[in-house]
Each structure stands twice: as C-alpha cells, then as structure tokens.
Amino acid sequence: MLIIEDSITEKREVRVAETEQAQASQQVQHTNGLEVVETREWLDSLDYVLSKGGAERAGRLLQQLALHARRAGGVNLPFTATTPYQNTISSSQQPPFPGSQEMERRIKSLVRWNALAMVVRANKIQEGIGGHISTFASAATLYEVAFNHFFQAATESGDRDIVYFQGHAAPGIYARAYLEGRIPKQKLQNFRRELNPGGGLSSYPHPWLMPDFWEFPTVSMGLGPIQAIYHARFIRYLENRGLKTSTGGRVWAFLGDGEMDEPESLGSITLASRERLDNLIFVVNCNLQRLDGPVRGNGKIIQELEAIFRGAGWNVIKCIWGGDWDSLIQNDRDGLLVRRMGEITDGQYQKYFVESGAYFRQNFFGTDPRLLKMVEHLSDEQLARMRLGGHDPIKVHAAYKAAVEHAGAPTIILAKTIKGYGLGEAGEGKNITHQQKKLNEDELQVFRSRFGIPIPDDELHEAPFYRPADDSAEIKYMQERRKQLGGHMPVRKNRATPLKSVPESHFEEFYKGTEGREASTTMVFVRMLSKLLRDPEIGKLIVPIIPDEARTFGMEALFRQVGIYSSVGQLYEPVDMDTLLYYKEAKNGQILEEGITEAGSMCSFISAGTAYSNHGINTIPFFIYYSMFGFQRIGDLIWAAADMRCRGFLVGGTAGRTTLAGEGLQHQDGHSHVLALPVPNLMTYDPAFAYEIAIIIQDGIKRMYVDGESIFYYLTVTNEPLPMPEMPSQSGIREGILKGLYRYRNSEKNDAKLHAQIFGSGTIMYEVLKAQEILEKNYGVAADVWSVTSYNELYRDANDCVRWNMLHPKETPKVPYVTQALQGAPGPFIAASDYMKVLPESIAQWVPGKLLSLGTDGFGRSENRASLRDFFEVDAKHIVLATLTALAREKQVEPDVLEKSIRDLGINPEKLNPAIS
Ligand SMILES: Cc1ncc(C[n+]2csc(CCOP(=O)(O)OP(=O)(O)O)c2C)c(N)n1
Ligand SMILES: [Mg+2]
C-alpha cells in the first residue's frame, strides 16, 4: 500500500485523473522484478508496525522515513494535496451504527417517495410548474442519517445546530416534515403553488415566505457556503464576547458539487481554517453532475475539492465507496483496485451508473486479469448494485461522527452519490436527470417497488402521498429520534425578546448641528456609532463591520474604544502601540474588521442581523463600506438578507457620483439607491444633514428591535466636510424625514413674481441652497428648498395609494404623501441629486406640477468635486439653469433670458453629455 500511495500521490497539479494515470504506469514498471520482493518486505514491516503500534505510530514512522530519505539521499517527495481515491475512514475504523438500519431505510424510502410524489403531482396538476427530484434522490441518505443521529435542535447546554439545506433538495425536507406531521397534505399538494387557497410550499427555502420553517435561503448557489462560514465564525464572536453563553452547536452546510464552482463557495474557506472553526461542517453531495452534465467529466471533483480544502487546512473526509466495496478494498493487497479507481474519470463513473454490471465488469475490471479475478465471485447484477459511500448509512454515519469529533479545524465531507438515485430509466445518473419532473406510470411503479411503498398499482397514476399512521413503527421511530435530538428541524422563530426602547439622549446632540464647523455625514455617523457603543444597554449589541476601510471613514478611534475582534487576541506588539489609536485586536473586540471582502462582511452582517432569530440575541449590525462595492457587487447577498428578515444598517460610505473626489469611474457611486429600490423591505435614505441621520437611525433601531419589524436599512453617507445645520423647528419634520421629504428652507423673497420648488438630497443639497440664493438675487425667483431623504420611500407610498385607489373606486381616494406635502407649493419643481435622474423621476407623476430632474447618469471621472458637479450638471449653476428652464416651459421666463443665463452662469452648451461620454 505504501508504494501505491506514494505513487498515486505524486501529483504536481490538480489534474488528478491524468496524473494518476501517468503515475500508475510508472508504478507498474517499478514493481517489476526485484522491486516486487523489496516492496513486499517493506509493506510487511509496515503492517507489523500498524498492527502493534497503530495508525499514529505508523504515521510518525512514515514521517521519519521521509525525513531520513531527504537527509540521507536527497529524496524529495513532491507536495501532495490529495490522498488516494478511497474512503478516508477505512472499514476497520468505522463505528457501529447506533440505530436500526432497517427502520431508517424504511423511513428514508417514505421520505423519498413523498418528495418524488410532490414534484410529479405538482407537474401533473400544473404543467411546467417545475421542481427537482434528482437532487434529493441523491442526497436522501446524507440527510436522513443527519436527521436521525446528528442535527441537534437543542443541546443540553441550550445551544442548537444551524443547518443550511441545499435549496434544490427542498422537496425532501418538506416530505420529512410531512411525515413528522408538521406540514399538512394540502400544503404538499400545493408545492410551488403558494397562492393557491390554503397556501402552498415555496419552491426553495425562503424565510420570507415560510417564516416558521425555513431559516436560510440557499438556492442562489454559493451563498449558502460563504454564509455558513461566516455564521460559524459569528457564533465564536458571540461566545468570545460573552453574548452567547450556550455552546456546542454546529453549523452544517449541505452543498452541491456543481455549486462549489461559485467563487463564493471557495472564496472564504481559509477564514474557516484560520479561525479553527471546528463548529463548521460542509457536506458536499458529489453526485458528479450539475444541471447540464458532469461537474468534471474529464477529472475528479472529489479529488479536486480534497486538494483545495486540504490545502486550505480543512479536515477532509472522503466518503466514496459503500460497504459493498469493503472486502474488495481489504483484499487489494497490491493496490491494483485503488489504482484503477484513481484512473477513472468522473464522466466514465457516470457511465457506469447507467450501464449494466457486465459493462462495468468489462470496462472497469477488465483492464487487468487480476482485477477481474477480484470480482469473479460477484454476479453482474451484484456488480451493478455496488453501493457508493454517500448512499451507505454506515459510511455516512462514520463520516459525520468523525466530523463532529474533529477538533481544531472545520470539516468537509465529500460524499459520492448518484444523481437521481432510484429513478432507474427515468433518469438515474443521466445528464437530463436534473430537469426530470415527470414520471410515467411504469417509472413510478419501478420506484415504488424498489423502495417498497405500499401503494397499489391502480393508484399509482395519481402519485399519491403516503404517510403511515402516527402509531406506526416508522413514524414513532422518526419522532423519537428527533425528540432525542431536541425537536424538529428546520424551525424558524424569533428567539429574542425585543428591546424595550432606544436611548434618545445619544441622538440629541445631532439635532443642534455643528455651529458652523464642518463635518461630513460620515463623521457624523461615526460619532453617533461611537456614542451608541457606549450605551450601557445596547452598546454591547452593536456590531460594527468594516471591509478594511476604517481609516477611510475616520473610524480608527473605534479600534481603541471597543477593539477589533480576534479569536486569539493580539499575539504581537502592534507597530503603532505608542499611539493613542493603535490597532488593538482583542478576544472580546467588538469590531469585525473583515479585510477586503464585501461578500464576507455582508455575511457577517447577515449573521448579526439574524441573530435575533437564530440565537435569540438582538445584535445590531452596522456595515459600512464603499457604496460602490455594495449593491452592484454583493446585491444577491443583500437580496438573501431581505429574504431572511435580516435587521441592521447598511451604510454606503463615500457615496455620491460627484462627492467622492478623485477616485473616478470605478468608485463614484451614482446608482446604489437605484439598485436598492428592488429590495422590498429595505428602507433607503440619502440624508443631507446630521439631524436627519440621527432621526433615521433612532427610528430604525426602534422599528427593527423594539417593534420587531422585518425591515433593514441602507443609508448613504459622504465624505465632504460641510457645516451641519440645526434641525428646523417646524412641526412634522421628523415624519417628513422618515417619509422621505420635508420643506427645509423657504425663500425669504416675499415680493417675488416667480416661484419654484427645488429638491435636494445628500451633499447636493448644499448646491441647491447656493442655487436658491442665486435665483433670488440674480433672477428674482423665490425658490423653496425641500430635503428629499428618500425617493424610494416616496415612490413606495405613492404606489401604494394608486393601487388602493384602483381597487376601491368608490371610496375617497388616498393621496400620496409626496402630493400632500407639495400641494399648493407655487411654481415648477426641480430635483437635483448625486444619483441617476431616474431616482427623482420615479416620483414625477405624483408631484403636483412639472418636474425637471438633474442627476448623475454616466461614468464617473477622476476630478475634484466642483469639476465633477459641473461635468454632471448638478452644481448650483445648472440647478439655476434648470429652474429657469422649468419656468420658461411654463412661459414665465422668456427664451432670451435662458440664453443669457447660460452665458452668465458660464455654462458651455456644447459640452459633452456626461450620460454617454
Ligand atoms: C447562482 C445560481 N446559478 C444557477 C442556478 C441554477 N441551478 C439550479 S440547480 C443547478 C445545478 C446544481 O448542481 P449541483 O450543485 O451539483 O447540485 P445537485 O443538484 O447536483 O446536487 C443550477 C445550475 C442557481 N440556482 N443559482
Ligand atoms: Mg451535483
């Protein structure tokens, strides 16, 4: 075996199959003649050490041998990232199975049947409604062993396991819940028909739609694995900070092998090993197929993933061969079989899944008479039924047990299975299996008989659900197992008690403004955050999250104030130790300084923002990042956060296309508010002043953590230092800020004939105020200025009214807030923002007059703010021109005046159009 291992692991690349083939032929040459005898002697000696001293002793000896060989003879064993194509846990190491295999097989068959029936029925009733059969069919054993023996819904310490179910396996999870009596048959019948009377079941895990059941939306592939990693780390963060006292729960993520190609799946795996997250277990269902065909037809996905994860420091457990292979492997003294296993590509393995035993014998074993001899006692039928590791409960149990017992590193289990297992001709192992949703009667019959479901032939055409009575042995067994493990899963609920109130006093300072001193809204935000962090009640619940931009946002004071979280504390003397604001890492540090990963930071945000549900802890995340790298980069994670009813504040820093000077096209964000609009439960704000931010954050904490609303926030803050004004004293201002618009400053020109209303947001508000002055002084226009804190909120409210009015034609129509607020305001309306024109335009139809919008459509430029605002036509002079233009459209201003104003304002009418240049 030793020689075989050395030979097989001599790989310099991850192109596993090719390399193994080459090495295998080398091996054959070397094992000729004298070498055979010599090798045999060494192997016998090693066997002796193994039997006397055990695996650990043998391992040490091999290491010593390797060291000796290098020193004495310059033998350099090449780096090896993979082990042979074998189970990591040998049959002699595997523990006894703790349950009734026969009973569990029967239960699993029932789950299989109902999962299949759910999809087949749904498509019979509604052609084309879709659903997946083959994913769960291949993963059934992986789930059932976990449900019966591992998934802890509650541990003795009060903790629980967190499980990320593979999205496409949802029918299997529903089927089990049906057998457990948790989902009525009617809902099963309405799988993928959520709007049918009585309600149905979501296609995939969606907490928004099934808030008592699903916890994690995993169906956008790649989001499950990265979230699982950060969740496992967040649990450690909670423990190390003393917020979570119960321990011992694990995070399980069930993943597809095709899914592992998503960059998010692999991108953060070193965090898990670096943080020694032995509370994390990945289970990859290696059915060798994805949607269109094989994952690695010409390679071996298991070997490739092994190399990647071993290289990253994970504990890798391969579960490839089922018990049927045990005796063959044990008798494979010369390693011929394992070598052959290593030679075959996944595409070819897939071929064996669909071919006869005779083909398997001839093609796989037939290359060597010695191999053929190994299986001569097996019939073709038996050969065809040789089970794979992922379908063998004993092997799967052994892998899970080893995973939960492993200390010091996360574990990945690579379980080999067949896609569409049990479907036979209907799709088992075939390339089309992922799309298979319909089975004809014959195919249903085969499946029914294979899994022994007591449904008579004449009822099969309906694909009826089947649930034995509550007191049947099967149902009693499965319920008892779940009872032992603390209850059913998945169950989603709110596990936290709401906060009592939001501390008002921290916000008051911001109502007063800065008395002429300049401050950016980012500085205001950071000051507010630092005050909240000091609060005796909620301070400890705040989770500041930053992807390596703390200095950009002027947050370094927080390093010292609350520390940067590190699971090991600070093992070095920081280079800036002698300064006040040194880089302080601490085990109980509060800041999650994530490094340059917006995706990872977002996962921390989600973990913290859903801890009220997952862990009963009201952590309040504030994730501040370059606004440009938010929605357009990690929009799908934000969508998932929304689905999960995540709470907290996303803060887009350095926001605005013309406010971030110098940085240019890739950094200047003039559209994140547009990209935020689709997220239904996201409150978005583009505040201009300190007091606006104070009111928004205060109200946000109240709505999310006191009132328990399933909303979260996006607010943009900017880095332009400006004097922050005092909050005007008129009534209704708080409501206006939160609803999205309020009158900020009336024109003082009482005798004016010309009137206009100008909307400003963010830092462009200051350009609007300058324009107000110019209009008054130079053009005799009295313009009132409105602060629009949220076009999105105004848009939503107005749409809601329109819809209601349409459905209630006889009742007094509702008037949108924006229309009410602006009613009677004289003159045309002009909007200027640092975002695309479409944002103000979205409310145009509800503005009681004509609206002319200025915005920043187009690619940014490296420039200073003044030039950028000139270029994008959102500075004071363009606002003046727009106002005059709007008045001219209403025939209140002569065209000549317009032309003159263009000259006087110094605007070049032939300048490039920023939207397309
Ligand atoms: C981000 C994303 N891209 C594409 C899809 C569509 N899709 C659904 S399942 C699937 C194949 C999944 O293959 P694999 O991960 O191997 O899972 P299996 O069903 O084989 O267990 C694809 C491409 C998706 N759900 N998410
Ligand atoms: Mg797959």
Measuring from atom 19 of ligand 1, which residue has the nearest CA? 135
- The number of the ligand 1 atom at minimal distance from the alpha carbon of 434 is 19
**Residue 28: pLDDT band by 50, 70, 90 thresholds?**
low
Condensed to tens digits (0 to 9), the pLDDT of residues 775-805 reads 999 999 999 999 999 999 999 999 999 999 9
> Residue 223: its pLDDT value, please?
98
Ligand 2 centroid to Cα of residue 256, in Å, is 5
Ligand 1 pocket test: pick from 132, 143, 288, 291 the residue with the most ligand atoms within 8 Å of its Cβ. Answer: 291
Percent of the chain with pLDDT over 70: 97
Ligand nearest to C-alpha 261: 1
| Atom number, ligand 1, closest to the C-alpha of residue 285 | 21
**Pocket lining: 221 vs ligand 1, CB cutoff 6 Å:** yes
Q: Is the CB of 259 under 6 A from ligand 1?
A: yes
Give the distance between the most distant pair of CA atoms in the chain: 112
* Pairing assessment for the beta strands 712-716 and 682-685 based on DSSP bridges: parallel
Give the strand order in the sheet containing 542-546.
Answer: 592-593, 542-546, 620-626, 649-653, 712-716, 682-685
pLDDT range class, residue 40, cuts 50, 70, 90: confident
pLDDT of residue 9: 38
User: Ligand 1 centroid vs 136 CA: distance in angstroms?
Assistant: 13
pLDDT tens per residue across span 374-420: 999 999 999 999 999 999 999 999 999 999 999 999 999 999 999 99
Q: How far apart are CA 858 and CA 875, in angstroms?
A: 16
Q: What pTM value is reported for the model? A: 0.93
Q: Which atom of ligand 1 is nearest to the CA of 222?
A: 1
**CA neighbor of 125 nearest in space, from 468, 564, 523, 438:** 438
- Ligand 1 pocket test, pick from 221, 261, 302, 434 with the greatest ligand atom count within 8 Å of Cβ, gives 221
Tell me what pLDDT residue 75 has. Answer: 87
| CA of 256 relative to ligand 1 center, distance in Å | 7
pLDDT tens for 841-879 read 999 999 999 999 999 999 999 999 999 999 999 999 999
The residues, ordered by sequence, that sit 6+ positions from 726 with a Cβ below 8 Å of its Cβ are 511, 512, 513, 691
Query: Does the C-beta of 285 come closer than 6 Å to ligand 1?
Result: yes
Note whether 253 and 164 are within 8 A (CB).
yes
CA 141 to ligand 1 center in whole angstroms: 20
Whether 303 shows a pLDDT value over 80: the answer reads: yes
357 lines ligand 1 (CB under 6 A): no
Angle at 759 between CA 756 and CA 765, to 5 degrees: 120
Say if ligand 1 is within 6 A of residue 220 CB. yes
Q: At what angle do helices 336-343 and 2-9 cross, to 10 degrees?
A: 20
What ligand is nearest to the CA atom of residue 168?
1
The response to whether residue 168 sits with its C-beta less than 6 Å from ligand 1 reads yes
Does the beta carbon of 135 sit less than 6 angstroms from any atom of ligand 1? yes
Ligand 1, atom nearest to 166 Cα:
21
What spacing in Å lies between the alpha carbon of 149 and ligand 2's midpoint?
A: 24
The atom number, within ligand 1, closest to the CA of 259 reads: 15
Binding site membership of 289 for ligand 1 (Cβ less than 6 Å):
yes
Distance 132 CA to ligand 2 centre (A): 12
What's the distance, Cα to Cα, between the start and end of the chain in Å? 67
> Does pLDDT of 20 surpass 60?
no
Nearest atom in ligand 1 to the alpha carbon of residue 419 is 20
Is 258's C-beta closer than 6 angstroms to any atom of ligand 1? yes
- Asked if the model's pLDDT at residue 17 lies above 90, the reply is no
In the predicted structure, residue 620 carries a pLDDT above the cut 60: yes
* pLDDT band (50, 70, 90) for residue 573: very high
**For 133-181, what is each residue's pLDDT tens digit?**
999 999 999 999 999 999 999 988 889 999 999 999 999 999 999 999 9
CA of 218 from ligand 1 middle (Å) equals 10
CA 396 – CA 148 distance, rounded (Å): 12
- The one-letter amino acid at 446: V
Atom of ligand 1 nearest to the CA of 220: 26
Q: Which of 434, 435, 639, 643 to mutate to test the pocket of ligand 1 (most atoms within 8 A of CB)?
A: 434
Give one DSSP letter per residue of 882-902, joined into a string: HHHHHHHHTTSS-HHHHHHHH
- Of 796, 798, 818, 817, nearest to 806 by C-alpha is 798
The Cα–Cα gap between 232 and 224 comes to 12
Cα(430) to centroid(ligand 2), Å: 12
Whole-angstrom Cα distance, residue 722 to residue 500? 35
Residue nearest to atom 16 of ligand 1 (CA): 258
String of DSSP letters for 113-178 = HHHHHHHHHHHHHSTT----SHHHHHHHHHHHHHHHHT--SS-TTS---EEE--GGGHHHHHHHHH
- Tell how far the Cα of 139 is from the centroid of ligand 1, in angstroms: 14
Q: Which of 206, 290, 301 to mutate to test the pocket of ligand 1 (most atoms within 8 A of CB)?
A: 290
Judge contact between 234 and 268, C-beta under 8 A.
Answer: no
Single-letter code of the amino acid located at 694 = A
- Evaluate: CB of 265 within 6 angstroms of ligand 1: no
Residue 23 has what pLDDT? 52
- What mean pLDDT value characterizes the chain? 94
Residue nearest to atom 7 of ligand 1 (CA): 291
Q: Which residue has its alpha carbon closest to ligand 1 atom 10?
A: 291
Ligand 1 neighbour 290 (Cβ under 6 A): yes
